[in-house]
Amino acid sequence: MSNGTSPLSVLRGVRAIIVVILAIAFLATAAYSVMSDGSLRGMTTRITYANRYCTTSPGTIVKTVTFYILASVWSTSSLHTSISSVAFSLAVDGVNLGTDHLSDSYWDPGHYARFNMTFTDPQASPVALPATSTLVLAMTASATAGIAASSVTASDQAIETFGNTSC
């Protein structure tokens, strides 16, 4: 070659560029994988609003205690996250009130999903309700974020003061 570079040194330069490109690709994939996993492991749910009221069954005078719950779900990492097969269970003062199956949802970084649900407590006496109750809301779902997919669980506990002790 006229400029003093041999084909061997050109080949070494190309190899070095390929190694650098492969290293960058590996590091980017590893970082995205960690973020994907973090989005699933960082799943959080919170009771954002709770209300207790009584409903009357149609055609009767029997009152049933009902809990209305508004919950938010989000992830701590900043990737688009989606959840499906969403199920929430509510326990009030240690009594499991059942499970509510809800619609699939998704959110983008910095946002969250909201879920509205109602649970009835057939054992509660509408004339002798505690002023304060401990609520435990548990969520299970199938979640996808980035390249990760997994079954996830999250829960929240709140002590709510409803005030009224009968209805």
pLDDT in single tens digits along all 167 residues of the chain: 456 667 767 667 777 788 778 777 777 676 776 777 667 677 889 999 999 998 887 888 888 899 999 999 988 766 888 999 999 999 999 999 999 999 999 988 888 999 999 999 988 888 888 999 999 999 999 998 887 888 999 999 999 998 877 77
- Number of structural domains in the chain: 1
Label the pairing between strands 105-107 and 81-92: antiparallel
Range of the domain at 86: 35-161
Q: Computed from CA positions of residues 159, 162, 165, 167, in that sequence, does the dihedral angle turn out positive or negative?
A: negative
Asked if residue 115 is part of any domain, the answer here is: yes
Q: What is the CATH number of the domain that holds 39?
A: 2.60.40
Asked if residue 4 is part of any domain, the answer here is: no
